[in-house]
Every structure is written in structure tokens, then in C-alpha cells.
Amino acid sequence: MKKESFSSKEREKFHFKEIEQLRVPVENIVKKLYPKISAGEYGLIFGDDASGRIPALLLNEIIQGMYREFGHKNPDICFFAGSKNLEGEEKNEKKEMISQYLESLKKKNPEDFQKKALIVTDVIATGVSLDPLIEVLKEKGIDFDIASVGDVTTEDVESKWGKDVYFGASGLPKIFGLGSVSGVEKNVNELFSHRIKDNDAYTDDEKMDIQININEAREDVSRLAAEILEKMRKEKEIV
């Protein structure tokens, strides 16, 4: 796998411009969710793999920073492989896997389920990738909100889900489909994604490049989260 190449100017601050470009849409999401975050409403964050992983990690770091300021217990975060195009029995099987996992999670951390969940994804078009998770949450009576960096909706997902969706911006975000940054690849029929570097199709050198990408992406996420939190402090949105 060839490592992404960016100019020296871009490397002065962020390794990946696609992550830096999440700044404005994620700030918009945080502003919309601010009353809920400041009240500590979220006990769980669900990320939609694969390219939804980076936005979920970013929002999680921001929410953790705000929770520390307001004295709330940090939410737990987990990632499910997106379920695009699953129908019929395949969709039901995926729902059962999600349901069983949530039950096991609830036994370990029952207090998390006394709060709302926040589903985070990179972009929503038809919403089918999130349908199994949303349907299971509804069936289990778990309240939740949905946040999406981008909006390319082709149908009224808010009516379908009976929920408002907190969009960060219109259009397709650059982070979409950037697997080398997320560090994972998915099989829609499975519950969890797999680490790209565990794929034997890659050489040792390619796996090394993949790990470098992952490390640098995580650095970018932490840097951007810190900058957004600092901006909020200066604007006195958090004290």
C-alpha cells in the first residue's frame, strides 16, 4: 500500500488533510449537541466502520474532554462494521449479532445503558448501513442520537428512524472511503471490522506503512480534538 503524500506545509500540523477538514463539520455537530454533551447524556458512542471510525474517535475525544470539564463519567465507545445492502436473512443475522453483543456489554457496564447512545458516521445517503443497529436499539428501548459528518441523503432518514440527525455539513466528506487512515476494513456480514495490517495480502513493508498511517491519523485526531476544545474554552462554551 502506498503511503499518502502531502506537502511539507501540510505536514507542519496535520499528517492527513482529510482529518483536518473534519474541523468545521465536527464543530457544527458539537455545537448542536452541546446541551446534551454538557449534561452528560451519552453513556455509549457507536462508530460506523470503516470510514466512520475517525469521526467517531474525534467526537469521542471531544466529548471526553467536555465530560472532564463538567465532571461526568466518560462514555464507552465501540465500533460495528457498517451493514450496507444487507436484506432479509442476512440483515436479521446481523441484528442478532448486534443484539447479543449489546447484551454482553450491558452486563459489564449496566450504567452506560441508563444513558443515551450516540451513533457516529461519516456520511448518510439512504441510511441502510445503520438500519440494523438502529432497529436493535429501538427494539431494546435504548434511546439514541445520530451524528453524521456529511449529508448526501436521498431519502427522508429522519422520518424513517423517527429521529433527528445531527449533520455537520452537506456533501461527501473527504474522509469517506479512506481505509488506510481508519486502519480497518469491513465485511458487512460480520459484527466487527478487521485490522488492515492483519490482512496477509499485504507485504511486511506495506503493513509497516499501514501502521504508520494509523499512528499518524490518531495523532491528527488528538490534535484536532484538543484544538476544538481549546477554541470552545476561548469562546467560553466550556469553562
Q: Is residue 239 part of a domain?
A: no
Burial 2-22 (b: 16+ CB within 10 A, else e): eeeeeeeeeeeebbbebbbbb
**Confidence tier at 64 by pLDDT (50, 70, 90):** very high
Residue numbers of the domain that contains 140: 15-230
- Predicted local distance difference test score (pLDDT) of residue 238: 59
pLDDT of 194 reads 92
| Residue pLDDT, tens place only, 145-191 | 999 999 999 999 999 999 999 999 999 999 997 767 888 999 999 99
% the chain with pLDDT above 90: 84
We report the CATH number of the domain holding residue 50 as: 3.40.50
Q: How many domains would you assign to the chain?
A: 1
Question: Does any domain span residue 125?
Answer: yes
State residue 114's pLDDT score: 96
The pLDDT score that the predictor gives to residue 177 is 75
100-124 tens-digit pLDDT? 999 999 999 999 999 999 999 999 9
Whether 235 is in a domain gets the answer no
Peptide bond before 50: cis, by omega within 30 degrees of 0?
yes
**238 domain residue, yes or no:** no
Whether residue 50 lies inside any domain: the answer is: yes
- pLDDT top residue among 133 and 233: 133
Residue 162 lies in a domain: yes
Helices 204-234 + 23-38 axis angle, to 10: 60
Q: What is the pLDDT of residue 237?
A: 64
Q: Determine which helix (DSSP H) or strand (DSSP E) holds 78, and give its type and residue range.
A: strand 76-81
In one letter, which amino acid is 153?
T
Does residue 192 have a pLDDT over 60? yes
Return mean pLDDT, the chain: 92
pLDDT on residue 181: 85
